[in-house]
Amino acid sequence: MNPSAAADTCRTAEAPGTLCALVAIKSRAHCKSRLAEALAEPMRRALVRSMLANVLGALQAARCVDAILVISPERDGIPAGTAVLTDSGESLNAALTQAHAQLPALGHSEALILPADLPYLTAREIETFAQAGRHSGFAIAPDRAHAGTNALFLRTHTPFTFRFGPDSLRLHLRQAAERGLAPRIIDLPGMAFDVDEPADLEALGLGHPREEAAWQTTARL
C-alpha cells in the first residue's frame, strides 16, 4: 500500500472521527539513563531530541493525524506550534490516562499513543497503523521483543489505563480483553525499533562511546 492510499483509507465512512496523537516524554535530563555507560549526558540529550523530532515530523506528515499533543514536563525540543500538556510528575502513564480522558471534550474521537524514542518511525507506518485501528477499534504495535508496547490506537470514549513499562504488551492486551475490545497486533519495523539499551545503539552506529562518531550519527537522524 502506498502512503497516499493509506492516508485516504484513514478517513473511511466506517470510522469517521478526528485523531489526536499523544506523545509522552520525560524530562530530557532523565531520559535514557540506561544508556549512560555508552553515551555521555550531552550526547544522550542530543539523541533524545533527535528521536523526538523524528516522531513529531512523522506525525506532522501523516495525513490521518488531526492534532498532536506532547505530554512533557518541559518544552525542550518541541516546536512552538505543537501543544504541550504539562506532566505533573506523578508518572507518564497517569499523565497519558488523564490526557486520553480529556480528548472527547477537545473534539477528538480517536487517539494514537506513541513514545518519543522511535528513530525510524515513518508517516506511512502511522497511516497504516491508524487504518488498522479504525477497522478494529483497537490496535497495538509491539516492540522488537514482543514484550513492550510502542504504539496504541483506541477510541477516546473507551476508558483506558495505560501500562507502559515492563511487560506492557501483555498488560495492554489483557485490559483490552477486559473492556471487550478486539485488538489487532500490528508489526511495523519503524514502530518496533525503540532505543532503550546500549545494544540498541549499534543499529544507529553508536556502538562505541566515541564522541565524534556519536555526534555525527545523531546529526544524521
Are 109 and 157 a contacting pair, CB within 8 Å?
yes
User: How far, in Å, CA of 135 to CA of 145, rounded?
Assistant: 25
Grid cell in block for residue 186 = 500490528
Cα–Cα distance, 153 to 109 (Å, whole number)? 11
Nearest to 187 by CA among 151, 216, 135: 151
Rg (CA), the chain: 17
- Which cell goes with 46? 542530543
Q: What gap in Å lies between CA 114 and CA 22, rounded to an integer?
A: 6
CA 105-93-153 angle, to 5 degrees, is: 60
Return per-residue pLDDT of the chain as tens, 221 residues.
333 333 333 433 233 469 999 998 887 766 666 676 767 778 888 888 889 999 999 999 999 999 999 998 888 888 888 999 887 667 888 889 989 999 999 999 999 999 999 999 999 999 999 999 999 999 999 999 999 999 999 999 988 999 999 999 999 999 999 999 999 999 999 999 988 777 778 777 765 444 434 434 444 44
Instruction: Look at the block and give the residue holding cell 493509506.
Output: 6
